[in-house]
Chains A and B, each alone.
Chain A
Amino acid sequence: MARSETRQPASFDLDDPSVRVADQIPASELEIEVSPEAQKKKFQTDSSPKAKTTSQEMKPTQAVSSMHLTARFSRWGGVLLSSLGVLASLAAGLAATELVESLFARADWLGWVAVGFAALAALALIAIVTREVMSLSRLRKLGRIRDEATRAARDGSEHDARMVIAKLKQLYRGRTDCSWQLTRLADAAPGIFDAADLMKISERILMKDLDDRAKAEIAQTAKRVSVVTAVSPAALIDIGFVLIANLSLMRKLAALYGGRPGTFGMLKLVRMVLTHLALTGGIALGDSLLQQIFGHGVAARLSARLGEGVLNGLFTSRIGLAALEVCRPLPFTHLPTPAIKDLMSEVVRPGS
């Protein structure tokens, strides 16, 4: 920040209208959306190293930002898809118009009924599209908050960190299961002035409980998948079950962290999870390779079906963990990144 040389010590009256005391700065000011350009600019200036004693070393897995996950179609593919889309909607519009016209030709009231239903259909379509767009943007927002939080914790200013916290508050506002945490965060945050520390307490206060629930959810699903695979009579049944269980797990995790994906959001989420798995697969494999060989090997010796069950359970936990990392609006900095081994004890434990 450039500061002019002439700034001399001075005193001001608190009644002076130009003096704004920090606790009284309107909340709306903290919730300004950062424009994409400003963000880009921030990204560029990012590379300048700024000594910050509190910044934590980033773990390599966290370098997987959502930038990678939103890999785009090639440009021509996009043109093809959108022109096909336009054609399809034109065809649908034409068909509808023709239908209405021919109905009018038969009887006026039939025509009006058709018009009514067409309008209703259009309204529903708009509603669905809006919902999908919102769910997509919510999902994207999670990734964006995570990127900003990573930057703020590394070398951001205190203001950046407060912006992230304001966005988190917006995200979890109105959720009864988060209200206690939000109150605690609001209580603790004003007395802290370091970006990294602010990110630390937000992660610790807001994410702890959500992480635990997410882990329990993953373990539960993995366990169910294992058992069903082990006992199912036909391969087709367990393929179907694994698919459905995994999809619903992803949806639950996204909802837990504030994503609430719709249909397209779900597709996008699946793609993000798969991309994440592809990018971090190597690391995760190294993490639990030994366990896998051992676990699978012994289980498979005992029974082929049991071995498959264990394998499917592992697969589900892997998917779940990837979904967790994709949906979590803050990077794992102070809380430990959950690994397969944290879940395995839960998966293989009898009962419950």
Chain B
Amino acid sequence: MTAAAPAKSLTVAVIGNPNTGKSTLFSALTGLHARIGNYPGVTVEKKVGCVDHDGVCLNLVDLPGTYSLSPRSLDEMVSVDVLLGRQLDVGQIDVVLCIVDASNLERNLYVVSQVLDIGLPTVLVLNMWDVALSRDIRIDVAVLSQRLGIPVLTCEAHKRTNIAAIKSALVTAAQQPTRTPQRLFPPEFYREIEALREQTTVGKNVLPDFLLERLLLDAGGYVEQWQTKQHSQALPAQLTAARDRLKAAGCRIPAVEAKVRYAWARQLLTGVAQQPTARPTTSSDKLDRFFTHKVWGLVVFCLVMFTIFQAIYSGAEPLMLMLEQGQNALGDAIGSLMPIGPFRSLIVDGIVAGVGGVLAFVPQIALLFLFISLLEDCGYMARAAFLMDKLMVKVGLSGKSFVPLMSSFACAIPGIMATRVIENRRDRFVTILVAPLMSCSARLPVYVLLIGAFIPDVWYGGWLPLQGLTLFTMQALGAIVAIPVAWILKMTFFKGETPPFVMELPSYKWPSPRIVLSRVYDRVKSFIVRAGTLIFATNVLVWATAYYPGDHAEERRLQAEVASLREQHGAVIKQYEETEEARRGEVPPEVAAISAAEDAANRESQRLLEISYLGRTGRALEPVFLPLGWDWRIGVGVIASFPAREVIVATLGTIYSLGRDVDAESQGLQSALRSATWPDGRPIYTIPVALSVMVFFALCAQCASTLMVIRRETAHWGWAAFTFVYMTVLAYAGAWGTYHVGLWFMS
């Protein structure tokens, strides 16, 4: 870009260490209208925001928080590619906005020095100026700017100070002539760079200087892997030779880079920044002593985790209930306006229920991200990972996987979305793939129904309740199975060097409500937009397989009859329900007539389900279910609950002619299950069968929404398919084993 022509639109890359208030500054600059997506082929979040300043349109690209620009994976390469203008969906970068923590300048300058090597116009923002002042850190901004040769501004992003000045500085910086990149390394280093340039140049394809530096400095890093693939197997040997020559010359790789850059930072700050020689004990340090204390630290941790868990598990319930009631009311309202028929069924049971199926997850997602954003913003999240790391290392993961996995006990969807805090791709993927094994709240109704119906209500030794024990075992089963699964995944698909747990423990601070709320909003929005449509489509599809191809005319007639009878005898029913007559068994003829009509309608619904595509599939697959001790009815229930496991109760209600409006504690359904028999009169449900069904539900991926979120978070269908297959196989094997061990016990 030439300096003379004022640009109408500028692309600005925003980069900085984690915990510097980068997102706060980003939203202070752009407002809340950021577009969130993914870079193609990777799982890195792409956040772009626009703002107009003096007629210039600033396009800000928020890069992931990073301590350095030395990529070791494709994901980490994204930031480098964006800065070098090699990321095609972003285009050329006009200005770089570097944000640093003014109270921790030296370490923050490391990545700044790498950015300056790239040579783009750069603006440096010293954020958390107030914190620096409160710690008696004094920085001479004018001299710093002069030494660096770039504009330097102070900022308190959470108070939105100096925002307009930063925008002006970005516009001005873009019009400056290109800077000559600094040369911090000794001459031998640059000689090796020149040699590498010749070796890697193909035709007109010359690697930028910065990538040549990375190639030489990052042994085994991403640039080396990529260039080795591009060129020849000879490259690694050439690199090793070059590194050996440099080592002989006294600049050993990799240590030389840190040495050179930190020396540069210290020299830069000499006489510019004054800070107390002994770091005073801040209130953050005192808090930390408490929060990481052997006893109190764990107590506080358990309390925090319990609060989060309770909030998603039961706090979301009233909201979900409201959504459900709204959904029912809407369904009824539409139902009363339209004639009974396939179109009404599509709208009410397909579309409204489908939208409801998407919205049902919103309260849990919103609540979990409210807590996670609060904990992240105040600095506790890093401590949670610190406290739990040793435990998680035993399964091959790190402390950062704890909160996502714990959240998955309430619901795997927000849990999987929460894995974005794990920077390491392999750890993140293993966490995502085992998260659906955690016993989520949707499995509970199945356990309650089957335990209530089949597990005797006895207390072993007078203190151990068998029903409670069974429930606990079912809840714990997934987590126990997840341990070997995670271990195997780490040994096979996600093999590689153990990722470092080198993690900054940031100072505690008050969370900013604006940032917390905007993060919750972003997550909910991205769930609805990206996963919601697919979840909705799946729900409609399942509705169709259960509805077609039967002729629903008779069912409609019977339902209309029930409705008209209810209307006709409304007063009698009300009186009957209010009096004690029900207990004495004196049923008035009107009520008996309604029950008979309802039974007829339910039987017709049962027949239609049996002949539907879903029912036919269930019957056709009976040989598959027989080894588990199941009949085709259980099979249909299980198949119908693949999109969402909580559907099983309503499906069983239809299968046993009780209508869809049954719940897990319904006595009618429990006794219907107890009296169900095989054609030869043997009962279908025995304790081994009930246990085998429960184990199947504990281990199976019966949740289309989870699979959609896995696809979204891993940016690939393959992992969703893999999760589905491995969990179904596991569930089948588990159910088979349980049934046979159960039979052996009973005999």
Q: Please say whether chains A and B are actual partners in one complex.
A: no
- Residues of chain B touching chain A, judged by Cβ–Cβ distance below 8 Å, are none
Seen from chain A, the residues whose Cβ lies within 8 Å of a Cβ on chain B are none
